[in-house]
Structures are given as C-alpha cells and as structure tokens.
Amino acid sequence: MIALDHLSLSIHGTPILRDVSLDLAPGEIMGLVGESGSGKSMTALAIMGLLPQGARATGAIRLDGADLLTQSEAQLCAMRGNQIGMIFQEPMTALNPVQTIGDQVAETLIIHGKANRAEAQRIARDRLDRVGLSQIALARFPHELSGGQRQRACIAAAIARNPRLLIADEPTTALDVTTQAQILDLLKSLVTNEGMALLLITHDLAVVADMADRIGVMQSGQIVEMGPTAHVLAERRHPYTAALFAASSHRPNRTAQPAPEPLLRVANVIRSYPGPRRGLRRGPAVAAVNDVSFTLHKGESLGLVGESGCGKSTLTRAILGLDPVQGGDIQIFGQSIVPRMPAALRAGIQVVFQDPYGSFNPRWRVEKIVAEPFHLLANAPQGRARRDRVAEALSAVRLSPGDMVKYPHEFSGGQRQRIAIARALITRPKILVLDEAVSALDVSVRARILDLLAALQGELGLSYLFISHDLTVVRAITDRVLVIQAGQIVEEGPTAQVFDAPQHPYTRQLITAAPRLPDLERAHI
Amino acid sequence: MSRLPTALWIGATLSGVFLIAALISLVWVPHAVDGVAIANRLQPPSPAHWLGTDQLGRDLLSMLMVGAQTSLAVAVIAVGIGVALGVPLGLAAAANRGGLLDEVIMRGNDLIFAFPSLVIAILITARYGPSASNAILAIGIFNIPVFARVARGAALPLWTLDYILAARTAGKGKIRISAEHILPNIMNLLIVQATIQFSLGILAEAALSYVGLGAQPPIPSWGRMLAEAQTMIYTHPMLAVLPGLAIVLMVLGLNLMGDGLRDLLDPRLRRGRA
C-alpha cells in the first residue's frame, strides 16, 4: 500500500536519510527502531510531506502507486489526515489547549469537507468511544484530561477519517508504563479491527517486540536491518541491532557492598500542598507525600519507583532541603534537613536531574558549572586548586579535563549527564540523589552511564537514591526498592525479591505492564 | 554573527545619525540656538543656513541637532530609571512567585499602568512646574512596570529549570540566583525592550514638549518646534515637517533596531532563519 523506495534526504546539504526502503500492507505493524538522530522521525515526516525548509528528498514515496514526493502541497493536504494519520510523542502539546476535544477530533472531517458540523460531531463522538473515551464529553478541554486520555484523544483525531496508514512517533514515551500498555493495546486493536497499517516509531526495542510484525532498525539515516520481529530479535545479524539489544537489558557490574550504617533517614514525612481556592478560602490541603519512612544505608543503592504524580519529585525536593515538610523528619548524618540547613550539610547530599539539556546555565562554561557547588564549602579551593578539583571531577566521570573551557551545548546528551554527575561529585558528597538521571538518554548511552554510576559507587563508596519510573533500570542498579503509589510506600524489599515475587497488587500491575524483551536466548535454541 | 539582519543595519544607521548629531551639538553647532535674530527670520535654505531659519531667526539645523540631544537625554535617563527599578522588582517578584511580595509588586505595577505617562507628567507638573527633568521622571516612572513585567515574565519559566534547582542545592539564595543565572539569561529580552521603550520615550518627550510640559524655552526640543510651527503650517510647512521627520526617523530607526536585535539575540528565531 505504502512503499518507500530508496528515499534519501538532505537538509541544507547535510545528509539525513540514505536509501531508506520499506513497505507496509493493510493490517500490518512495522516497528521502526533506533536511537535519537537515527532518522526515524524524519522518515515519518517525509511520508507526511512535512519536511522542514531546505530539505531535499530523492527516491520515491508511493501511496497506491502515486509518488508523494512529486505531489503539490494541495494534493498533500488532501492526503494528510484522509489517507495517513499521525500521532506524536507529547500529548501535552499535540492538542490545542483552547479548543474542545470534540472540535479537534471533528476538525479533520470538516477540513476535508466530508461532513457538516453536526455530522462531524457525531463521528467525533464515535471515534472517542472507539478509543475508550466514552465517558469524556465532546465539550471537554485538553487540560481536563490525563496524559493517557489526551493521547487517546490524539489517536481519535488521527483516525477520524479512517486513514489507511497510521504513523505513531514515540506514542507512549511520555506516558507511564500502565498507560503505555493500554495505549499499545488500543493501537493493536485498531490495526486488527479496522485493517489499518501502523508505522510505529520508537527507541524502545521492548515496545516493538510485543507489537510489530516486522522491525526495521535504523542507524545514522539508514535501515541497517529489517525483517520479521522474531527473526530480527533472535538473530541480530547487524552488529548495531546486537548492540541495541544488549544495551536495552544491560546490567552494570556492581562491586559496592552496602554497610549497615544509616546515612539518610526519612521518618513519617508528610508533604502537602494548599488546597484549591474556593472563593476566599482554601479547600483542605492535598497530601502529595503521606507518611513515608525509609532508610538509606552507606554504600547502598535504593530505588524509588512510581508513576507520574505519585509524589516522587515532591519527596525528592524535600530530601534535598528545597521545600519544607509538613510533618515527620528527614535526617542525614543525624542532622535534620530543612530549607535553612547549614551549607556543609547540603554538601553531603547532591543531585543529578533528568534533563541533560535543562540542567545547565547555557551561558556558563563547564568549569563554572561544575564548580558551582563549591559555594557550599567554607574554605572552597580557589584559582589553580579549584581548577584542579574540577579537572579531577571531570576525569572521574571519564571526560577530559580540557572540556572545562567548553559550553554545555557542545556536548551530547550522555556527555552532559556526565557533567551533571561531575557537578554533583565536586563537594565529595556521601549521598547522590539520581532523579530520573538516565531516563532521557538513548539505550546505549544509558548503559554507559549506568556503568559509570556503578563504578563510581565502588570507587567512592557512594550511596544512591535512585528515583525512576523505569523498572528495567531500577532492577539493574539497585539493591533495595521502594514502590510508591499516591504518596505512600506500598511495597519495599530487596530488588530481586520485589521484582520476582511482588506482593502488592500495584507492584504486580507495574511489572506486568512494563514491556519486556522476549527471552530469545531460550526461544532461539 | 556573519550576517546581521537588514533591519538592524538600517535601524542602527538611522539611530546612529541622530546620536552623532546630538554628540556634535554638545561641542559645536552651526549657529547658536539661544539667540533671537528677527532680521533673519523665516529664511529659506541657504549656504549659511542649510535648512533655513524659524520665526525667531534661529538656525533650523542647529535646533534639530540640539533637539536630538534633548530627546536622547530624556529617553536614555527615562529608560535608565525603568531598568534600574523595574528589573530588580520583576526579578524579586519572579523569585517569590505567588508570594506576598509578588502580589504587592505586581499590583503596584497595575496601579502605575493605570496612569498614562501624560497624566503622570501633568500631575508632576501641577505640583513642581514644567521642566525637562520632570518629563524624564514622568516617562521613567511609566517605564518601571514595563520592565518589571518583562523581567518577571521572562524569569518565571527559568525558575522551574533544573539548573536553578541545581544552584539551590548548591546553597545559593534567591538574590544570588537571580543575579547569576536569571538576569544574564533574560538580558536579550531586556535589551530589545529597552530599544522599544527608548523610541516610546522619544515620542513621549515630544508629546510632553508639544503640550508645554517638557523642556522649557530656550532649550530646543522637537516637540516644541512642532508646537511653535503649528500656526505657520500653511505658509512655512518646512518648520513642522523637519522636526516631524526627525521624530519619525528616530523612532523608526530604534524600532527597526529593536526588531533586528530580537532576531539576532533570539536563538529560536535565528534557527528559523537559517
């Protein structure tokens, strides 16, 4: 039905795609896997005819024999939404916040002149029912919906005209695992029941392993391997596929041994926000973290797992002494953590954040960035000694001391995360809080950062509080794990035990929902 | 920086011409502007008086040059007042988002915004009498909430970024974070806003002088030149056209420069153009 024939693409002379060929039949799911910058999304945009300015494409994109590359913008407009629908990664920004859900789903129908307003609303209702939003009124606005509901609404809009090809670009990356499982199920049922073809673009091998009939693996603008899912995953003929597969399930070699010496003690902590305003008064306070207690020991890695909105971030900010607690107590080294705590105490607990792009002042050089926590030390090294310490921290994270004169934008995502770790280590803290520290990284980069964290823990005797929604990562790097739901810890125990024999229904739900790579070593024989 | 936006070039050239004229007038003008020579009144352009003379026999070119000096001085100081008071207030409001200080600063801003600079100027003049310095004060006060709002609006999204959290975990306080992290990152917006306020300041000065609330005789000012030319607009239109043209070109130049600077300093727009 749709076929890409040796599609090559360059933007302002820079080659982006080379000889990409693929084809899709009705009712088929093709998974396109690769890391960031591999050209997955550009392939999708090329099919939609939504390439950025200065892009030059050669080859052919055939939809039922007609070459889309040679069609006029008007012809492409008639095709978009009508023949091909698309779903994007971020459901928060893919919907117009000032239009109702119903109008946005109906929009495609009205644009293509296929329905009058009343008819379009009726079809919109039907599509929303189809994607499992039957309880959502057409007049609701996007901000009244949860992330998963918004992504369903996006899907409803994409299938409004019953397109024959649906392109989903990282449709579940921004969603929690349980929501992800539901959205993937929905996409699968659309393909089976409506006979659509689905091009599923993702960085996550485990997602396509469950879903796709065929997989194409992309690297630097080329499809390096393509074939039926089971074959590709079992044989991994191309070294890049093998590397991607290994990195996805990578477990760093951990040498650190936890000692029974408590460093961080969280006791019955309550964090609440003022309730919503009702006229002049405020409603009852909303507890984001409710009576949470745990202890982090010396040299230990403690995982904190939960979905978005469970209170992880709120708790993290309290542990870092950025926000006050409304009840209970947090202590490190026997002293209470409060926003006005002494600087020397703060130096003992440092943090690495998720976003390798938002973590640094873009106008500062790496030297100044890494040295910033020296502000906490009463007798911080100056001049040459200061530079030596920065160089030492950069070497510790396997960067070159010469990198300190560069600006953050000169580094890749993985390198930036190394800089963030160097900054966290500069005051020689005992505890490192890793707040989704590897979640935004590509699998191969993530594997290397996990190795680095494991090695640093062994070398420096660090304790990690590892906060993440990603179960695979938590399993790989932690000794003990806490599962948090709606501000409360519902299960805790040694990592292997919690994962292999979960006790609480919520933990079980999380573990079942997480997509897993099939155990192909055994299947392959 | 290889290619500067065209708007920036044109704007900077126009503004530059007036700036140079104003600077030259500090040390030299073709003819003195405070002398009255009725014998020379209303002369057409000639080698002695390039642009002719006005109804009191003063050289128009010299009047325009000194007028540029008045306009620029008023606008510079008024923008200076706005930046010096408005930016710290805006940063403080952003640092205490949702707090009492934020509320107080922003509602105070709304209060000032409710009075146009002309009304403030009339109030000040009614109390202290008309003068150039009172015009500066009136325009300056009007600039404070403008800069406070721009600074607060630009600073708010920055406060949620991880590098601000990192600075807080490094034990830095709100004032230090505002100075080290926030201010340098909103500077481009402030510079662009300053050029816009600068052109508005020139317009406001002209308006205040036109109604007699700005610079007082014998200090030349474009606005008062317009006012004085009013009665002779049909017999000697050049008397009104020249100061009018000066105001238009200066404001146009500054606005173009502001647009150009925005394109140059905003990395998102830069990428869009590339």
pLDDT band of residue A520 (cuts 50, 70, 90) is: low
CB contact under 8 A, A353 and B185: no
Q: Looking up tokens 């299938």, which residue turns up?
A: A159
Q: For residues A319 and A266, is the Cβ–Cβ distance under 8 A?
A: yes
ipTM of model: 0.78
Identify the closest residue of chain B to A355 by CA–CA distance: B162
- % of chain A exceeding 70 in pLDDT: 99
What is residue A333's predicted lDDT score, i.e. its pLDDT? 87
CB contact under 8 A, B166 and A372: yes
pLDDT tens digit string along B27-57?
A: 887 877 777 777 777 777 877 777 777 777 7
- In terms of phi and psi (left: phi > 0; alpha: psi -120 to 50; beta: otherwise), the region of B18 is alpha
Residue B178 per-residue DSSP state = I
- In terms of phi and psi (left: phi > 0; alpha: psi -120 to 50; beta: otherwise), the region of B112 is alpha
**Parallel, antiparallel, or unpaired for β A214-219 and A29-33?**
parallel
CA distance B274 to chain A (A): 9
| Secondary structure (3-state) at A166 | strand
Q: For residues A86 and A200, is the Cβ–Cβ distance under 8 A?
A: no
Indicate the average pLDDT of chain A.
88
- Taking the Cβ of residue A354 and every Cβ of chain B, the question of whether any pair is shorter than 8 Å is answered with yes
* A residues 27..56 contacting B (CB < 8 A): none
How many Å apart are CA A103 and CA A118, to the nearest integer?
11
Indicate the average pLDDT of chain B.
85
Neighbours of B87 (CB within 10 A): 24
Q: For residues A251 and A453, is the Cβ–Cβ distance under 8 A?
A: no
Chain A residues whose beta carbon lies within 8 Å of the beta carbon of residue B184? 361, 363
Residue A128 tokens read as 């929303």
Burial of A453 (C-beta count, 10 Å sphere; 0-12/13-18/19+)? buried
pLDDT band of residue B272 (cuts 50, 70, 90) is: very low
Which of A34, A351, A83, A311 lies closest to A200 in space, CA to CA? Answer: A34
Q: For residues B121 and B138, is the Cβ–Cβ distance under 8 A?
A: yes
Q: For residues B172 and B111, is the Cβ–Cβ distance under 8 A?
A: no
What is residue A519's predicted lDDT score, i.e. its pLDDT? 64
What is residue B28's predicted lDDT score, i.e. its pLDDT? 83
What is residue A478's predicted lDDT score, i.e. its pLDDT? 93
**Parallel, antiparallel, or unpaired for β A259-273 and A286-298?**
antiparallel
pLDDT tens digit string along A378-412?
A: 888 888 999 999 999 999 999 999 999 999 888 88
- Taking the Cβ of residue A346 and every Cβ of chain B, the question of whether any pair is shorter than 8 Å is answered with yes
User: What's the gap between Cα A72 and its chain centre?
Assistant: 36
Identify the closest residue of chain A to B184 by CA–CA distance: A363
**Nearest by CB: B171 against A12, A353, A375:** A375
What is residue B87's predicted lDDT score, i.e. its pLDDT? 96
What is residue B179's predicted lDDT score, i.e. its pLDDT? 93
CA distance A97 to chain B (A): 18
Amino acid at A455: A
Residue A52 tokens read as 């950025």
CA distance A344 to chain B (A): 9
pLDDT band of residue B271 (cuts 50, 70, 90) is: very low
pLDDT tens digit string along A427-465?
A: 999 999 999 888 888 888 899 999 999 999 988 989 999
What is residue B2's predicted lDDT score, i.e. its pLDDT? 46
**Mean pLDDT, to the nearest integer, of A267-277?**
85
Identify the closest residue of chain A to B180 by CA–CA distance: A361
N residues, chain A:
525
pLDDT band of residue A212 (cuts 50, 70, 90) is: very high
Compute the CA torsion angle A122, A126, A127, A128 (nearest 10 deg): 100
pLDDT tens digit string along B83-114?
A: 999 999 999 999 998 889 999 999 999 998 88
Which residue, among A365, A372, A425, A439, would best test binding to B if mutated, counting the most B CBs under 10 Å from its CB? A372
CB contact under 8 A, A351 and B166: yes
How many Å apart are CA B60 and CA B58, to the nearest integer?
6
CB contact under 8 A, B274 and A351: no
CB contact under 8 A, B185 and A322: no
Which residue, among A364, A375, A377, A431, would best test binding to B if mutated, counting the most B CBs under 10 Å from its CB? A375
The model's pTM: 0.82
| Secondary structure (3-state) at A362 | coil
pLDDT band of residue A226 (cuts 50, 70, 90) is: very high
Asked whether the predicted pLDDT for residue A208 surpasses 80, the reply is: yes
Residue A335 tokens read as 């002293």
Q: For residues A471 and A273, is the Cβ–Cβ distance under 8 A?
A: no
Name the more confident of A20 and A109: A20
Query: Chains A and B: how many Cβ contacts under 8 Å?
Result: 54
Name the more confident of A306 and B87: B87
Asked whether the predicted pLDDT for residue B274 surpasses 50, the reply is: no
